[in-house]
Amino acid sequence: MDLAIGTVSYGKPVMAPCLIPVEHKSTPNCINAPFMVNGECYKVTAMSFCSPHGVVFTGNVDSVDVRETGQLLGTHSLFPKGASIVFAQVLDGETIKVRIWQQNKGETGFSAEAVCIAGVTAMMLHKVLTDRVKVCAGNQEFGVEWNRETNSVCLIRHEDFPEA
């Protein structure tokens, strides 16, 4: 993806379980739903712009075995077509750090869709305090802005991301 233009619109996040797809029936959306993997419970929020993703917040993304845990969650039976998994850590009231396990690729330093999904999830779960968040992915930083009135999401190159 070329972010030389500064901002890329991603449109509206897909939250309906049947459209992601994710097998989830207890609430209208799959938000912080428990996924059991090897006897451990992970709270997963499922979302998509183009492809299925799950976001898991953790206290320290550097301590996560992204390859193993990402694959186990991404191929979990609750994701019938599989999913990419984003592990996210809150750094402060406007910044998160992510590590990404991308379906069919393994751990990757950056995926624009994964960064947007992590940013929206952080805002939706009130992990950050604003409707825009700085996302550190690999050795890059991006801004994610979510306009809740229009339900539209933009990915912003860090250099073009206005300070709060």
d(CA 80, CA 49): 17
Quote the pTM value: 0.91
In the CATH hierarchy, which fold is given to the domain comprising 14-131?
Answer: Diaminopimelate Epimerase; Chain A, domain 1 (3.10.310)
Q: Quick one: DSSP state of residue 60? A: -
Q: How many residues does the chain have?
A: 164
With CA atoms as reference, report the closest residue to 58 among 29, 13, 84, 97: 97
d(CA 137, CA 64): 15
Cβ atoms within 10 A of the Cβ of 133, count?
28
d(CA 153, CA 147): 6
User: Measured in whole angstroms, how far is the alpha carbon of residue 65 from the centre of its chain?
Assistant: 17
pLDDT for the residue numbered 160: 56
Q: What is the pLDDT of residues 36-73, one digit of tens each?
A: 998 999 999 999 999 999 999 999 999 999 999 999 99
pLDDT for the residue numbered 153: 95
Q: What is the pLDDT of residues 81-114, one digit of tens each?
A: 999 999 999 999 999 999 999 999 999 989 999 9
- pLDDT range class, residue 6, cuts 50, 70, 90: low
